[in-house]
Structure 1
Amino acid sequence: MATYAQQLKAVEGQVQSQLSDGRFQHCLRVKDYAIRLAQQNGVDPDQAALAGLVHDYAKERPTEDFLAAIDRHHLDPDLKNWSRAIWHGVVGAYMIKDELGIDDPTILDAVVNHTTGEGVTMSTLAKIVFMADYLELGRDFPGVEEGRRITDQSLDQGVFYQLKETLSFLASQGKLIYPKTFTSYNDWAKHFSS
């Protein structure tokens, strides 16, 4: 079986071919930030790099591709009521497995959860990709430096910080919020209040 480093080298061109240059550069920065967080949190840096590189593999796919994949993989039909913002994680993991041949369940789970988070049972790798996507060095928004500082001290506190900030931002914009994001937030809130 190929090592994570070998898989990384093998799929980089395929990932690049599916994305605009700006999105691909973001994926490279997420890969780099994921390596940093992996080293801080006892996770294989090559595994984190691969997960970071592929996390947005499906981000720019046409709507029809996602709808077809939802049917093909017998996913929850309610997913069709959402958009690429949710699909590229939840459905994108299936595309990564089918098209890139990455079948590591921990990497696929990290991709599924990188936009919505998950409760306190989230794997360390999923937390790393969730935070690397939010904090990569090309990000520049109010609170990003605070997020980096918190995450350097505690990956779990970083996850909770991002969920709080994301919910607040989406609500302030009057945007729909995917139910799993609420569930994730509530689970972390309960965890930190007990």
Structure 2
Amino acid sequence: MNWNEIESDLKRKLTKKRYQHTLNVVEAARELALKYGCNVENAAIAAMLHDCAKCFSNDELLDYAKKHNIEIDAVSLEDPQLLHGPVGAMVAGELYSVEDPEIRDAICYHTTGRKAMTKLDKIIYLADFIEKGRTYPGVEKARRKALTDLDAATIQALTNSICHVAQMGALIHKRSICARNDLIIKKLKKIKNESE
């Protein structure tokens, strides 16, 4: 499918609010990709498709994951909406002909993050977090940080997400904790190496 076909299909499948969010994420992802030297087209495609499985019900996500051998960990079993990333990555390949594994990974991990996030992973995670429609407390700080330091902004976004989920009393996915810890360890090593 080409861009116009993907856009048209998603406009039909997603709610009006979700579709507008998707367009906002595409805009933010393009800006971040330009800022941080990432392939802008890949960022736009990953952003456009990041929520392509968000319209699936919990049962549909679980069924799809089972049929396609997508791992369903204990946290995702309790909160199947966490599967919309991994399922979306598979849908991006099957329905929208996205073959690039980096794009599919960015879709897969856009909700939880992961250890050893690629630049594209961080851009899609962060674009989803700071797109112009977001109004949660601290979003302006995250937007400012995103203009100067991709890793620090991603750490801040992960921290905010983990704290928010914890305050709600919900389960925190271990990938989010691993992603945050990994980025902090790399940042500390960089600081140490620069000071030697």
TM-score with structure 1 length normalisation? 0.90
C-alpha displacement of 1:151: 1.1
Counterpart for residue 85 of structure 1: 81
The CA distance in 1 between the partners of 2:59 and 2:163, in whole Å, is 31
Name which of 49, 52, 61 aligns with 1:54.
Answer: 49
The CA distance in 2 between the partners of 1:62 and 1:142, in whole Å, is 29
Counterpart for residue 98 of structure 2: 102
Q: Does the 8 Å CA contact 2:117/2:179 hold for their aligned counterparts? A: no
C-alpha displacement of 1:27: 0.1
Give the gaps of 5 or more residues in structure 2. Answer: 190-196
The CA distance in 2 between the partners of 1:40 and 1:137, in whole Å, is 17
Q: 1:6-21 to 2 correspondence within 5 Å? A: 7-21=2-16
Q: CA 1:56–1:77 in structure 2 vs 1: closer, same or farther (change >3 Å)?
A: closer
Amino acid at match of 2:170: K
SS of the equivalent of 1:74 reads coil
| 1:36 counterpart = 2:31 | yes
SS of the equivalent of 1:168 reads helix
C-alpha displacement of 1:56: 0.5
TM-score with structure 2 length normalisation? 0.89
**Identical columns (%):** 31
Name which of 137, 149, 155 aligns with 1:154.
Answer: 149
Deviations 1:137-185 (A, max 9, x none): 0111111111011111011111111111111111122111111111112
**C-alpha root-mean-square deviation of aligned residues, in Å?**
1.6
The CA distance in 1 between the partners of 2:158 and 2:57, in whole Å, is 27
C-alpha displacement of 1:83: 2.6
Give the gaps of 5 or more residues in structure 1. Answer: 1-5
Q: Does the 8 Å CA contact 2:62/2:83 hold for their aligned counterparts? A: no
Name which of 113, 119, 128 aligns with 1:124.
Answer: 119
The CA distance in 2 between the partners of 1:184 and 1:74, in whole Å, is 23
C-alpha displacement of 1:24: 0.3
